[in-house]
Chain A
């Protein structure tokens, strides 16, 4: 098998240019999908037979909860790659995923509270699902804090990778908590086997929202990885070229205005 493409992508300047070309497309696609998802969720989808209009919180809650778990897995896998292969790009991807994942974990918790109050009757309960999702937020914040506490980038990445891998045990707990334990939280709708748990006209905006949120996360992580690469590789020739290009753009803009 030919691995040259992989090694080329793993080199910071190639990845930087690859991200530079890919990110705008991801951003546009995410914007279109999310616009449809929110319009569909708020206007097109009918109200639920039981929860009426309160069920519409699902269109922001479920995508946030889904990426909160997926990004953690990405962060831990990037951490493992960074530990084993000492790959600089993997270290940057790992630390780039943390703030994005943390923000969506917080969003899942907040929208869940705003959904729980009118439907369950309480903003918060200490059941297995809610507690383990809160632990997930603390793990993300731990990685961010640990990274900030180190002076040396390599040592920081190694410590963060270990914490990310250790926290990986929490991911299946969050996902299966509603099946393993009695909980107030309901089971999974979209990953349920058998008959569909959600009608088609309600599901379409939800799937668009899921895809759009994943694309937005990809966009944010690519951009943040670029930032980390610029910092880590400062002083190298390719970063100087980027600096010169950025300065040129700014001067060009100044002349026009």
Chain B
């Protein structure tokens, strides 16, 4: 990708900041439920 692309017409911190925060939130929503399921299954298995 060209330097112009990364500079976003001078708005790089705002555009990339927004997409960065968004990536974190999307990933958290995709991954967190799976991790919690593993934790629940483990704790329930210990209770058995």
Contacts and interface: CB of A to CB of B under 8 A. Distances in A.
Direct contact between the two chains A and B in their complex (CB within 8 A): yes
Interface of A: 27, 34, 38, 42-43, 47, 52-54, 56-57, 60-61, 64, 99-100, 103-104, 106-107, 110-111, 114-115, 117-118, 213, 216-217, 219-220, 223-224, 226-227, 230-231, 234, 239-240, 242-243, 246-247
Interface string B2-35: 0001001111001101110110011011101110
A166 B26 CA distance: 28
Closest 3 CB pairs of A and B: A223-B33, A60-B22, A53-B9
Given A103-B25, A103-B28, A217-B29, A60 B18 contact: yes
A231 B39 CA distance: 11
Nearest to B45: A243
Nearest to A56: B15
B37 A230 contact: yes
Interface residues of B, number: 28
A217 B36 CA distance: 16
Contact of A57 (B5, B15, B30, B47): B15
A38 B10 CA distance: 19
A230 B44 contact: yes
Nearest to A47: B9
Majority-rule SS of A interface residues: helix
Contacts of B8: 53-54, 56
Given A54-B14, A115-B18, A234-B44, A227 B33 contact: yes
Contact of B47 (A99, A219, A234): A234
B25 to A, nearest CB: 5
A220 B30 contact: yes
Nearest to B33: A223
12 contacts: A42-B5, A43-B5, A53-B11, A54-B9, A64-B25, A114-B18, A220-B29, A230-B40, A234-B44, A242-B41, A243-B45, A246-B41
A111 B18 contact: yes
A34 B26 contact: yes
Nearest to A240: B48
Contacts of A242: 41
Given A103-B25, A106-B25, A234-B47, A54 B40 contact: no
A111 B22 contact: yes
Contacts of B44: 230, 234, 239, 243
A118 B8 CA distance: 12
Contact of B21 (A53, A110, A231): A110
A94 to B, nearest CB: 16
